[in-house]
Amino acid sequence: MLEAYLDQIKAHSDPERAEQMAAYHKADRTHLGVANPILNDLTKTWRQELDVAARIELADALWQTNIHEGRLAAAKLLTQARIRPDDAVWDLLQSWLPDFDAWAVADHACMAMQKRLSADPSRLDQVESWTKSDHMWTRRAALVATLPWTKQNHPKPEDLQRRDRILGWAAGYVTDRDWFIQKSIAWWLRELSKHDPDRVIAFLQTHGDAMKPFARKEAGKYLKGQLE
């Protein structure tokens, strides 16, 4: 089963683009040079053709190839709002966390995680454990996978509680000097500022001095004139 789907990806390989991608992503894996829109079209068709169990099996196999486009396709296969049942999907996505080693692959997997967390917010209890991981990419995933809680214009009281809970995780990260961690804090705050500027202002007033300057600046990108 795997080879037939992998061949569909390989049919769009571009060696020159692959070389550029490998240099850009700096990850020790094969790059085929296949553009994202092509992967989107392929995986959309596969999602329509396969039931949940088959999609999980294919996603697992594609991930294990350790090919850049294979891992992106694996994540895209599982990025869908409505999946029932989805416990096995969530378990598979979590199993990938230790393999995260570059932002593109991690972000695609986190987009799939966002859908599963939105479907079942009780999973935030598991995500909280990621914040204490020794693995930087797992810690980062706790913020990237929870971005849906930055986007609600009229959140319910329970979602405000979740928003504050995640902001607490971000506050615990501010002394971490890793660029990607700082970037993830800034990303979360920047997106939240579009919908809930008061919380972001309060966060930056309390924790901004401990953040790296670039992260503090990005977090306040849409708050010009509101920060003193």
pTM for the model stands at 0.95
For 104, half-sphere exposure in the C-beta direction (CA atoms, 13 angstrom radius) is: 17
User: Minimal CA–CA distance to 97: which of 78, 86, 110?
Assistant: 110
Closest by Cα among 65, 145, 139, 62 to 98: 139
User: Measured between alpha carbons, how far is 226 from 47 in angstroms, rounded to an integer?
Assistant: 45
Q: How many whole angstroms separate alpha carbon 115 and alpha carbon 78?
A: 9
Look at phi and psi of residue 69 and say left if phi exceeds 0, alpha if psi is from -120 to 50, else beta: alpha
Handedness of CA 143, 146, 151, 154 (dihedral sign): negative
The token pair at 66 is: 């350790």
Query: What's the pLDDT tens digit per position in 77-96?
Result: 999 999 999 999 999 999 99
Tokens 């790296």 -> residue: 212
Could you tell me which residues come within 8 angstroms of residue 156 by beta carbon, excluding any fewer than 6 positions away?
Answer: none
Question: Average pLDDT per run of 10 along the chain, which is 228 residues long?
Answer: 95 94 88 97 97 97 98 97 95 98 97 98 98 98 98 96 98 97 98 97 97 97 80
pLDDT at 27: 85
pLDDT score, position 226: 75
Give all domains of the chain, ordered by start, each with its CATH number: 1-119 (1.25.10.90), 139-228 (1.25.10.90)
Query: Which residues share a beta bridge with 67?
Result: 30
Buried b (16+ CB within 10 A) or exposed e, 195-226: bbeebbbebbeebbeebbeebbebbbeebeee
- The pLDDT of residue 182 is 98
Cβ within 8 Å of residue 217, ≥6 positions away: none
Please tell me the predicted confidence (pLDDT) of residue 228. 60
